[in-house]
């Protein structure tokens, strides 16, 4: 079965947040009800696009895979009255270095985590967060980090919606992290 989309964009070879940035831009040119096909190779783009679409009121339809390429389908829905707002509770990379309590939750993909993460950080990729929230204590401060603070923003919103009150998005994220890193490889 061939899936018909009203517009296609190529995000192959791009990592977070670029597939979302390109999708967001392309959605402005669509009218309500039209479908956008996003071609990507970043495995994390599935969870990223689904969470982004939900946060702004579009419909994430699904993903098909052909070889190494993921074909994501997003339907534009009227998002009048929906304003994309960042998660309000944030800490800077510098502030995170001086904190002594809480857990650092790394929501990047496992391969990103393996090649460099903050010592003691717990890895739960964004796409696994719903199924693994039970691993986190609601009363404990949770500092959510990713590469550019985009996935961590979405994860912080999910956690807050699930009743976690002490959640912080780490801004700007690993892309500017100056502290020590641990590697699995």
5, 11, 15, 16: the catalytic one is 16
Q: What is the pTM of this model?
A: 0.71
Amino acid 21: pLDDT: 94
* Cα 178 → chain centroid: 22
Domain boundaries, the chain: 7-75, 90-176
What confidence score (pLDDT) does residue 48 get?
Answer: 92
pLDDT for the residue 35: 92
**Alpha carbon distance 182, 64 (integer Å):** 34
Superfamily of domain 90-176: Rhodanese-like domain (3.40.250.10)
7-75, CATH topology level: Translation Initiation Factor IF3 (3.30.110)
125 three-state secondary structure: coil
Is 16 known to be catalytic?
Answer: yes
**Residues of the chain predicted below pLDDT 70:** 1-2, 79-83, 185
Q: How many helices (H) and strands (E) does the chain have?
A: 6, 9
Pairing assessment for the beta strands 69-75 and 35-40 based on DSSP bridges: antiparallel
């Amino acid at each position: 079965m061939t899936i018909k989309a009203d517009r296609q964009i190529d995000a192959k070879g791009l990592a977070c947040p670029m597939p979302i940035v390109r999708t967001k831009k392309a959605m402005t040119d669509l009218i309500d009800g039209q479908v956008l096909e996003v071609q990507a190779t970043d495995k994390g783009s599935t969870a990223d696009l689904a969470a982004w679409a939900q946060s702004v009121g579009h419909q994430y339809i699904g993903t098909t895979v052909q070889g190494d390429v993921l074909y994501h389908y997003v339907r534009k829905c009227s998002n009048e009255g929906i304003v994309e707002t960042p998660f309000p509770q944030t800490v800077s990379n510098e502030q995170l270095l001086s904190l002594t309590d809480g857990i650092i939750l790394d929501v990047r993909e496992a391969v990103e985590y393996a090649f460099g993460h903050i010592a003691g950080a717990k890895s739960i990729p964004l796409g696994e967060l719903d199924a693994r929230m039970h691993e986190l204590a609601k009363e404990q401060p949770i500092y959510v980090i990713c590469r550019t603070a985009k996935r961590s923003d979405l994860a912080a919103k999910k956690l807050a919606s699930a009743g976690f009150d002490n959640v912080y998005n780490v801004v700007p994220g690993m892309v500017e992290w100056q502290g020590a890193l641990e590697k699995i490889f």
